[in-house]
Chains A and B, each alone.
Chain A
Amino acid sequence: MTAALRIDGLYKRFGERQVLNGFSLQVERGEVVGLLGPNGCGKSTVLNIICQLLQADAGQVQLMGQPIMEKSTHVRARIGYCAQESGLYPDLFPQENIQFFARLYGVPAAQRSARVAEVMERFSLVPYMATRTGLLSGGWQQRLSLAVALVHRPELLVLDEPTVAVDVQARMDLWRLIEGLRDSGTTILLTSHHLAEAQRLCNRVALMRDGKVAVEGSVPELISRVPGQAVAKIQSEDKQAVIQRASDLGWPVRQHAGKISLFLPHHLSLREVVDALDGAKASAVSVDPVTLEDAYLELVGDSTGVPKIL
């Protein structure tokens, strides 16, 4: 079976800046793939090219086996797009916004009302039918934005940092909705700043650096590439003593944003870590299982793109 989305060697330059530098990625049908990377690494540029909001300088994008580089309304009708700003009409009621976009996407008149009702129901928007969109909270607007993106039943759903502008509760709600879409087999490509979001929602993640995919794989695969089962994060006045002691124990040491991370060969309790450090004074210690964030920092690096390996 052909991939839902296949991107080969995308290049894009803005002025002097080479934003995409041979970006390639494949998304299988029914898969949720997360595109992660620091600000300005080109995540949104990739999505904009897929949605035909931007033209690549070189490279090819195929949707369900068909090239989509040429301007085509037919291609746009097969994609659902939801950005970080909801992009909705504030004076319309939620169902009117959905109805409007259903018409733009060519949903047949005979099916339109049923489709609008279906997504209103699915996204629990029915109680807000009498509330103008502009009066909905950010989280509910984003929920509506997702409903709008799905009303024409797209073959690919593109989510550009969908939860960046909402509060924690709304983010959790949106995660549950996206999980529901994933479980029902919707193909999704999303970008996110929240590594926990990608860890929870994605079957696979692609970590970007220097305008291309640096590493990709499932979350467990990426985590397995971290040299440890758990990570102890230490704050200390005497960092050198901690680093020396950890090295003596054979624990790989990393330093990010003034914090020391020690990769432990197996999960240890807080007490066991403190005892093992034996005299190296630590002001704060936490021990957690390795997360995607640890894998990201290990494999791609921090905001400067450089992992600080000691």
Chain B
Amino acid sequence: MSPSGLLLDQTLAVSQRLLLEQWRQRRGLIFWVVFPAAMMLLFGLVYAHNANMRAGLDAAAAGILMGAALFFSCLGGTVSIIAAERERRTLRRLLASPLHPAAYFLGVVLAQMALAAAQVLMLYSIAWFIGARYHGSLLLGGLILLLSVFVYVGMGFFLGAHFARRSEEVVVALSAIGVPLLVLGGTFFPLEIMPAAMQTAAQLNPMLHMNQAFKGVAAYNFGIAELRFELTFLFVFCAISLALGLKSYRYLLLADQKI
């Protein structure tokens, strides 16, 4: 088998295995469905109750997808995958195998993308019923989602490798590091009401650019020209994420030696 063929097959093997495991652990899968669905319904009720806020419902749907659904499934899910590999001692077996670090990373990205696609369909179906609409290009929206999943997985690798040795520590890592990033990403407050220093710091937070880019295309029908700043950031963060993912995989090897 050629090196690129092996890399592709390893990527698909990792991705299929993760999806199969996810399918068999139905509880986790139900959580990925129930949580964003409940969020969308709650937001929908609030917006429906306040006529002057209805215009914001389209942006809210985009925000819930990025800040709630994908944050927990793609970032939280990746941290859980790393912690589980450690706990089940499968990590040693992976590290002793010829699995390429990039194949492992891309396998996780691919599996998370499949889950993300299901979440998008489910969330936007609910959103449509409560009156929210998607206005922009599906292709551009898909590209932003793809970049966002990539970035979330890279961050998940970093958090998982450095802060989640056991599954109990997944929630701690997510709460202590992930949630502040959500706040700084403009998920709960608009960027404009934050102090100037926070606004500057927020520019380095990939979640801000994911939120703004997807809200832009979904709620305001922005095109590539209007979103070039956010897209550039997301592409740069993708490259950083890949580097972070590969470095974290190698770090796992070092960390495993201390166990």
Interface residues of A (CB under 8 A from B): 48, 51-54, 73-74, 76-77, 79, 81, 83, 85-92, 96, 100-101, 103-106, 108-109, 132, 148
Contact = CB atoms under 8 A, between A and B. Distances in A.
Contacts of B253: 53
Interface stretch (B9-17, B191-199, B219-227): B9-17
Given A89-B17, A106-B1, A74 B92 contact: no
B90 interface: yes
Contacts of A81: 93, 96-97
B98 A74 contact: yes
Given A89-B17, A92-B17, A106-B9, A83 B89 contact: yes
Contacts of B97: 76-77, 81, 101, 104-105
Given A76-B96, A105-B98, 6 more contacts: A53-B253, A53-B257, A79-B96, A103-B10, A104-B94, A104-B98
A109 B1 CA distance: 9
B24 interface: yes
B93 A101 contact: yes
B20 A85 contact: no
B96 A51 contact: yes
A90 B258 CA distance: 25
Interface in B16-72: 17, 20-21, 24-25
B183 interface: no
A89 B96 contact: no
A15 to B, nearest CB: 10
B219 to A, nearest CB: 39
Given A106-B9, A108-B1, A87 B98 contact: no
B130 interface: no
A96 B21 CA distance: 11
Interface of B: 1, 6, 9-10, 12-13, 17, 20-21, 24-25, 88-90, 92-100, 253, 256-257
B96 A100 contact: no
Contacts of A83: 89, 92-93
A123 B193 CA distance: 65
B21 A87 contact: no
7 contacts: A51-B96, A73-B98, A96-B20, A103-B12, A104-B13, A104-B94, A106-B6
B92 A104 contact: no
Q: Give me the 3 closest cross-chain CB pairs, A-B, nearest first.
A: A73-B98, A103-B13, A87-B93
Nearest to A74: B98
A87 B256 contact: no
B98 A91 contact: no
A139 B186 CA distance: 52
Contacts of A77: 97-98
Contacts of A74: 98
B9 A53 contact: no
Nearest to A108: B1
Given A51-B96, A105-B98, A108-B1, A87 B13 contact: no
Contacts of A54: 257
B96 A52 contact: yes
A51 B96 CA distance: 6
A104 B93 CA distance: 11
Nearest to B99: A104
